[in-house]
Amino acid sequence: MFNGEMAINLDNKGRMALPTLHRAAIENDCSRRLVVTYNPYEEFCLFMYPEHRWKEVRDGVMALTSNDGRHRWMQRCLVGSAAQLEPDGQWRLQIPQQLRQVTGLDKRVVLMGMGDRFEIWNEAVLSESRRKFMEEQKLRIAANVMDVSTISDELKSLNI
């Protein structure tokens, strides 16, 4: 399980060093084989999976019927744009240029452990998204308009 949030620099070649915290898990879990692809839900973010987990995601996405345009888009976004990665001897990953450009990844990124995968964010975008979300939450609480009908049953069942 991957968790935690780390700010990382991308070098001029688009490489980022994997944090020491995750190296042993990546070595043991997937023999250093990772797959990076677009996040179909957030514009400025990539998903990065251990190879075995990626195969499950890929197979599930490709099992969708391709006669639905939404399914084809998900297949293009996740599978068609996926790139296999392996860290070099210094544990650096080369993020493909096309993925960096489309998601706006530049000098500063955030690697966020999300259980069975990582998210790679443009640091400024993540900070702004987080700030906006928290501001909206504060306004809803202050106005006492937390509409519980918009909260999923899964969120309601969390005890946090």
Residue pLDDT, tens place only, 122-143: 999 999 999 998 988 888 777 7
DSSP secondary structure code for residue 40 in this structure? S
Residue pLDDT, tens place only, 74-122: 999 999 999 999 999 999 999 999 999 999 999 999 999 999 999 999 9
Q: Which CATH class is domain 2-124?
A: alpha beta
* pTM as predicted: 0.87
Element (H, E) at 82: none
DSSP 3-state of 35: strand
Task: Check if the beta carbon of residue 115 is closer than 8 Å to that of residue 3.
Answer: yes
